[in-house]
């Protein structure tokens, strides 16, 4: 026998579940709550009645699409529409988890395709200014941050790859082995400036280290959080007047873009970045039109 519990009760249960079990952030909670309430309001008007659990269970894919189409007409972007669909799915997931209903049609919907956003590189001048400003610090944590940022920009590492390093596999010599996405190994050259920055940090670091100790440590001697480097870059870009796009990941993009702009081979850069396909590297590195035209004019037989 179907439950006669009101939809409002199930809605409140879902909200409590988001807060106490899923522990979503306040911003995420507000967005999910707003999205689902908008969906329920629209669906009630769409069906011309007060919604019940039975109505939700009997909804077809076309009913969900009608809501998304209405939101799209209101000017919402693909990113916002995808989030709305995620919010609705979360609500239905809770209802299915509690064996209130089962609706297979929602799972068949594809999220609106989000426009691909390429990370924007820093200019060579901005990259140098960033490193120079970090180099002014005197404490061991200042030296640590400089070492991390030098590694991201000088070797093109992802921030997770840099912070996953242990003392035992720290950069030493002319190259190092990095284990990237999908446990794929790649060999990365180590510039002298990288070794120097890391050596300086290690001399100042007050925490003892052995082979299994994280290379980059936080104040309490535990593995450094990516958030700390993000905050460091955030503060620096405000001091230097850099754009909001200046992030730790932008340093990896800058590494690739500056190499390519200086005449680096695309396939070599692909190997350095650890990309599985060349097409990923091509999207990741964007030479401006002027540079492309200069390459064309210098290389084409008819130029």
pLDDT of residue 267: 63
Cβ(147)–Cβ(131) under 8 Å? Answer: no
Q: What is the mean pLDDT of the chain?
A: 83
Q: Residue 302 pLDDT more than 80?
A: no
Q: Residue 292 pLDDT more than 70?
A: no
HSE toward the beta carbon, residue 268, CA cutoff 13 A: 9
Give me the mean pLDDT over the 231-259 stretch.
Answer: 81
From the list 2, 107, 181, 219, the catalytic residue is 181
Catalytic residue list contains 252:
yes
Please give the share of the chain, as a percent, with pLDDT higher than 70.
80
pLDDT of residue 70: 93
From the list 71, 83, 252, 253, the catalytic residue is 252
pLDDT tens, position by position, 30-78? 999 999 999 999 999 988 999 999 999 999 999 999 999 999 999 888 8
Catalytic residue list contains 2:
no
Catalytic residue list contains 253:
no
Catalytic residue list contains 181:
yes
Q: What domains, with CATH codes, occur in the chain? A: 7-108 (1.10.150.130), 124-299 (1.10.443.10)
pLDDT of residue 110: 85
Spatial distance between the Cα atoms of 225 and 217, rounded to a whole number of angstroms: 8
- The DSSP H or E segment spanning 191 is none
Catalytic residue list contains 284:
yes
């Amino acid at each position: 026998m179907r439950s006669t519990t009101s939809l409002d009760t199930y809605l409140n249960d879902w909200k409590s579940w988001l807060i106490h079990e899923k522990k979503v952030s306040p911003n995420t909670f507000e967005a999910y709550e707003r999205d689902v309430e908008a969906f329920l309001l629209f669906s009630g008007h769409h069906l011309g009645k007060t919604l019940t659990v039975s109505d939700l269970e009997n909804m077809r894919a076309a009913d969900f699409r009608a809501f998304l189409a209405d939101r799209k007409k209101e000017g919402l972007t693909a990113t916002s529409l995808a989030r709305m669909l995620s919010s609705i799915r979360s609500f239905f997931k809770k209802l299915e988890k509690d064996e209130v209903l089962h609706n297979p049609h929602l799972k068949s919907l594809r999220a609106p395709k989000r426009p691909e956003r390429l990370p924007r590189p820093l200019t060579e001048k901005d990259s140098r200014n960033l490193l120079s400003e970090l180099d002014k610090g005197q404490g061991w944590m200042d030296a640590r941050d400089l070492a991390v940022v030098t590694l991201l920009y000088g070797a093109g590492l992802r921030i997770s790859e840099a912070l996953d390093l242990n003392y035992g596999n720290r950069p030493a010599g002319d190259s190092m082995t990095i284990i990237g996405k999908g446990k794929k190994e790649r060999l990365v050259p180590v510039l002298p400036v990288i070794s120097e920055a890391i050596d300086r940090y290690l001399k100042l670091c007050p925490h003892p280290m052995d082979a299994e100790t994280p290379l980059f440590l936080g104040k309490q001697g535990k593995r450094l959080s990516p958030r700390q480097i993000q905050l460091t870059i955030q503060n620096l870009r405000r001091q230097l007047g850099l754009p909001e796009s200046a992030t730790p990941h932008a340093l990896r993009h800058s590494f690739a873009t500056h190499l390519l702009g200086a005449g680096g081979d695309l396939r070599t850069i692909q190997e350095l970045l650890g990309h599985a396909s060349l097409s990923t590297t091509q999207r990741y590195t964007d030479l401006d039109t002027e540079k492309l035209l200069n390459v064309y004019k210098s290389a084409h037989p008819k130029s």
